[in-house]
A and B are shown apart, each in its own frame.
Chain A
Amino acid sequence: MSAAGVAPTAVVAGRPSRDIGIALTVAALWLLLALFVVYPLVMLFARMLGMLGGRGSVDFGALLALLTDRNQLRAFWNSLLLAFLVGTVGTLAGFLFAFTATRCRLPRAAVTAIDASVLLPLVSPPFTTAIAMIFSFGPRGLITYGVFGLKGYTVYGLGATLFSEALTYFPIAYLTLRPILTAIDSNIEGMAQSLGASRWRVFRTVTLPLTVPGIANAFLLLFAASLADFATPLILAGNSFPVLPTQAYLQITGLFDLRGGAALSFALLVPALIVFLLQRYWVSRRFYVTITGKGAGQTPFDSVSPGGRIVLIASVISITVVVAYFYALLLYASLVVALGANHTPTLAHYRVIFTDGWNAIRDTLIIAGFSMPLGGLYGILLGYLVTRHRFPGRRTMEAVSMMNYALPGTIVGIAYLIAFNDPPLVLTGTALIIIACYVFRYGPTGIRATVALLQQIDPSLEEASQGLGARSGTTFRRVTLPLIMPAFFAGLGIVFIRSMTAISATIFLVSISWTLITVKILEDITELSLGPAAAFSVLVVVIVFVVVAGISRVLREFRAPGAPGVSLFGG
């Protein structure tokens, strides 16, 4: 996350928009938001209360019994505990990486290596580490038994889930913290030291306090990510550590208790909303204060002692080795007949995914291909309108546009399933429902990037264009758009990555005509057809790497000299 989360109200041009084009665009966006954000959530709530669609009136007693069921309460607290731990561990790891990358005077190649190893978990389907965990730990695990000779150790539970989620999500913390650590003027640290402070004291009293808002932001992002994740616990949490997103999923798909599943989802809404509001109104505001302007000549500050440097680098290398080990294992699993029984090399699994799995690959690419431009367009349009134009309900629009982003995917998916399965708008079974889900769930990254960029561009440029007689549409196309191209591509990139890797919402939306690679992987894992699951995962990693590299290239082309940089993952 860059400085994108800042409230945009302060820099809005003071000119109310009377332009018909603007009015129409605003109306269209409101219609879309009403349809794909508000309507599903209202329907979910109504279904839960039994106001429609259900059989007969709602049995509040049963609903209350479900919500206060000892086991569901335990799942609720487990979810919070897991999210808290993932937030803590992941932020620590992310800080470690960011601090090492920015303060250890590493050679360029080493920093690139760190970036690559961090990118890997970020672009993989969220449960690929879970596959590797099953292999490595357990009574006959490659590591527990093979290396340490432990017997009777079982992998399933809090530890494994925490480990897997922290490893998957810590890159978010890294990407949040690294720009902040880079932005801190090293002259400040240098001055503190020349005033006699030890390195540790400089870290404790200067560097750390300046990073605190970023740390809090990273923690909250990880907390939300963990709270929304149901696939990892589904595979690794076992039966002794139920968590709420998984319970809601089983309640609906296993027991076909839609009402109960909805109720459980809304229970998740409470902590999710608290986290969102905290991030939106507290952290993002404090965030800005730490950006101290463009540093003049930076004097390199020797912030790490030689011993500390070795410890830091060693820690980073060991985590990198773990990441590399998991993905090497995944690659290996995709290339042998049956991991654990028959290690004859084979390409059979790749043949399987390109024949039997071809539909899923094709569908995923088509859906990702459509979600990508739509999500990018949606992001810049909405971001531009709420930043540069004044119209009634502007702030509400921004808040509403963030809702699907902030809510756990399970809730969004269930809400879509309920809302679009019956008339007036029947979308289940189409690709459109999946595309809409991705656009409105991940498009907001583009909104944030657009808002952040526009805040750094003087509105007088656009006013000049309009003063010369250009309509707002023309001004937008010819002046604003080229300036916010980086945000467009950042939005594209995130929507594409998520379209290839997300599952929590869309598992409810796949159908006979449209299925997704991630859903196939999950099915393969639950059936323990690990070869095809591993091959699919490798394929996803390769596709995403190629596309992200392509987008990053275009992004560099479009960045005007001196224009603020936008990280592809900045949100």
Chain B
Amino acid sequence: MIVVPRSVRRLVHATAAVALALVALLSGAPVRAADTLNVYSIWPENWARPMFEEFEKASGIKVNFVRFSSGEALARVIAEKNNPRVDVLFGGPVETFAAGIAEGVFEPYKPPTFGKLPARFRHPDGQWTAIADDPLVFMTNDKFLKEHGLNAPASWNDLLNPAYKNMLQMADARTSGTAVTRIFSVIEVNGRDENKAFDYMKKLRPQVQLYTKSGGGGTLPVGLGQAGAGIFFIVDALDTKAKGYDVTISFPREGIGTSAEAIALIKGAKNPEQAKKLIDWATSPAMQNLFAKYKINFVPAHPDVALEPSLAEVLKGTKIFPIDADYAGANRKRVVDRWVAEVLNP
């Protein structure tokens, strides 16, 4: 004869009841309230979070956000087009936004600062607006340079030096906006002669140890000396230096690209008014004056915001050119496909 302990029966009943009740509860969609906003951030959390906290302080609107690298974020926004999950796409190189325009995922919106911004920091129709500028740099490990008796690379061709064989890390163009900006930089310094640019990238391929999933993915290996050098956005490079790693930042004399970081309103956003408030705030000096305070080494996009002195020092005398957003947007997919086929997997 088997006696069932009462506790067992109670356990089973409770389990079933609790489970059913809470499944109903958990299936709810994201909160739609007067004072919240949903955002995909392409900026890493440690920069996005203080900005959103400051925004909440200024406006009383709480920002729920999740961070993805630019390719992943864009893929999500496109996937959710019929039923958008977020209101704003925040940060990330402009060419990511250009690709989004082609998919029709943004709602044009011109913030009050729109008229003040230089033409390259705003989309003519207001599909996106820039919040910062981010030049690419070469970053090299100091010990590596010393060991090989080299100076920091000062030309794109310096990276072809045999010493760098299998010692470079840079981002993978399939997932990273940094990589796409880098590829368009190479195309630009080669006078938009794509074949010439790809010849260079193919020559660079054996030097590359790893193409990382995200733009900043190679910074720590370079800091640790696991890799000798890489091409990164200046924010990531200066961040590595600030963490205490001995690295040198340098620029190629042929020039290197810079990419505006943008913000855009998602078409069909469920909290459009709050979203517009965030865009107004982010494109104004209100946010961009905070970059220095939080040691975010972006170049502010708004002309009234002064460049932080140490950042100005790093950028002195360098040749930096903007990536043409229209050209990059129109050619992105083709160029990335070609890069995958000819450079990544020859």
Contact = CB atoms under 8 A, between A and B. Distances in A.
A373 B15 contact: yes
B202 interface: no
Nearest to A427: B27
A238 interface: yes
Nearest to A558: B8
Contacts of A513: 29-31, 64
B19 A374 contact: yes
Contacts of A526: 69, 212-214, 217
B75 A482 contact: no
A428 B5 CA distance: 41
Interface in B297-323: none
A146 to B, nearest CB: 11
The binding surface of chain B is classed by DSSP as mixed
A186 to B, nearest CB: 34
B2 A483 contact: yes
B5 A482 contact: yes
A428 B82 CA distance: 12
Contacts of B79: 256, 258, 417, 421
A71 interface: yes
Interface in A300-352: 337-338, 340-342
B8 A482 contact: yes
Given A139-B226, A140-B225, A512-B30, A253 B210 contact: no
Contacts of A485: 8
A205 to B, nearest CB: 45
Interface in B22-62: 22-23, 26-31, 38-40, 44-46, 49
A260 to B, nearest CB: 12
A250 B45 contact: no
B151 interface: no
Contacts of B245: 338, 340-341
Contact of B244 (A239, A341, A422): A341
A256 B16 CA distance: 39
B216 interface: yes
Contacts of B172: 239, 250, 254
From A255, A430, A529, residue with most partner B Cβ within 10 Å: A255
A370 B26 contact: yes
Nearest to B44: A527
A239 B211 contact: yes
B209 A528 contact: no
Contact of A477 (B9, B221, B223, B244): B9
A481 B75 contact: no
Interface string A196-213: 000000000000000000
Contact of A252 (B45, B65, B75): B75
Interface string A496-513: 000000000000001111
Contacts of A527: 44, 214, 216-217
Interface string A150-162: 0010111000000
B86 interface: yes
A141 B79 CA distance: 40
Given A140-B224, A253-B72, A373 B18 contact: yes
B342 to A, nearest CB: 11
Contacts of B27: 427, 430-432
A226 to B, nearest CB: 20
Nearest to A53: B82
Contacts of B226: 134, 138-141, 155
From B5, B12, B336, residue with most partner A Cβ within 10 Å: B12
A377 B23 contact: no
Given A234-B213, A254-B172, A485-B8, 13 more contacts: A140-B224, A252-B75, A254-B75, A255-B71, A256-B71, A374-B23, A377-B16, A430-B26, A430-B29, A432-B27, A479-B4, A511-B85, A512-B86
Interface of B: 2, 4-5, 8-9, 12, 15-16, 18-19, 22-23, 26-31, 38-40, 44-46, 49, 64-67, 69, 71-72, 74-75, 78-80, 82-83, 85-86, 166-167, 172, 174-175, 208-214, 216-217, 219-221, 223-228, 243-245, 336, 344-345
Interface of A: 70-71, 134, 138-141, 152, 154-156, 234, 238-239, 242, 250, 252-256, 258, 337-338, 340-342, 356, 366, 370, 373-374, 376-377, 417, 421-422, 426-432, 435, 461, 477-479, 481-483, 485, 510-513, 515, 523, 526-530
